[in-house]
Amino acid sequence: MGSILSVKNLAKIYKSGSNTLTVLQHIDFDIEEKSTVAIVGPSGSGKTTLLGLCAGLDRASSGDVILNNINLNNLNEDERAWIRNQHVGFIFQNFQLLSTLTALENVMVPLELRGASNIKEKAMELLEKVGLQDRASHYPSQLSGGEQQRISLARAFSNSPKILFADEPTGNLDTETGERVEKLLFDLNREAGTTLVLVTHDLELAARTQRVIRLKGGKLLDNAE
């Protein structure tokens, strides 16, 4: 099977005044289509930065991120947003739902942005998929952390992404709720073939993926399969 994501000699350097901070360097790996991968490493090792670069949320200082055969580093911000809209799902540790919108409206937003038809019905179907159809009219503040994360999953599933990036998706959840969210993610991989790339400090979760990429001090420790 082909690779859906290729990272080549990637580096990220933050500059502020005369200070430079090299957060990532010499990062090379390929991720197979339809596979599940965990990115692990100590706090501050660059995991979140790497995930953001792979998902096109941010741009590398040098090197290439080739997602679905398109080199993100040749694209401007609008073009990267378009690619994200088409192919990518992203899940944050702190859910990042819009607090002034209901659960249903949060799921409708990305459908609306893509100009989909029957968005209310589609959003309802997505809520059903994560078992939260009865919470459609609730606001995020009226939902538990696990429910909010399931809404953010429904939102991330809305474009049937080829690849889904998740930054500590279970990090703020208790064990039982975390397992429910995990199951939804792995079901998506199994049923729809969505490639999963998870940043996690949970080694049990990492062990359930097909491959672990280890970072330390902004470099790959190894990427043995």
d(CA 150, CA 114): 21
161 touches ligand ADP by CB under 6 A: no
169 touches ligand ADP by CB under 6 A: no
CB of residue 56 vs ligand ADP: minimum separation in angstroms? Answer: 16
CB-wise, 14 or 82, nearer to ligand ADP?
Answer: 14
Pick the closest to residue 133 from 104, 110, 109, 160 (CA basis): 104
Kindly provide the b/e burial profile for residues 185-214, where b requires at least 16 CB atoms within 10 angstroms of the residue's own CB.
Answer: bbebbeeeebbbbbbbebeebbeebebbbb
Q: 216 with 45: CB under 8 angstroms? A: yes
2 touches ligand ADP by CB under 6 A: no
* H or E stretch covering 155: helix 145-157
Pick the closest to residue 75 from 90, 93, 57 (CA basis): 57
**How many alpha carbons lie under 13 Å from residue 136 in its C-beta half-sphere?**
14
203 touches ligand ADP by CB under 6 A: no
CB-wise, 93 or 133, nearer to ligand ADP?
Answer: 93
CB-wise, 41 or 110, nearer to ligand ADP?
Answer: 41
89 touches ligand ADP by CB under 6 A: no
Candidate residues 9, 21, 190, 225; the one interacting with ligand ADP per rule CB under 6 A? 21
CB-wise, 25 or 158, nearer to ligand ADP?
Answer: 25
Structural tokens at position 80: 């990267």
CB-wise, 46 or 146, nearer to ligand ADP?
Answer: 46
Site for ligand ADP in 25-84 (CB under 6 A): 41, 43-49
Number of H helices, E strands in the chain: 7, 10
CB of residue 225 vs ligand ADP: minimum separation in angstroms? Answer: 21
Q: Which residues bind ligand ADP (CB under 6 A)?
A: 14, 21, 23, 41, 43-49
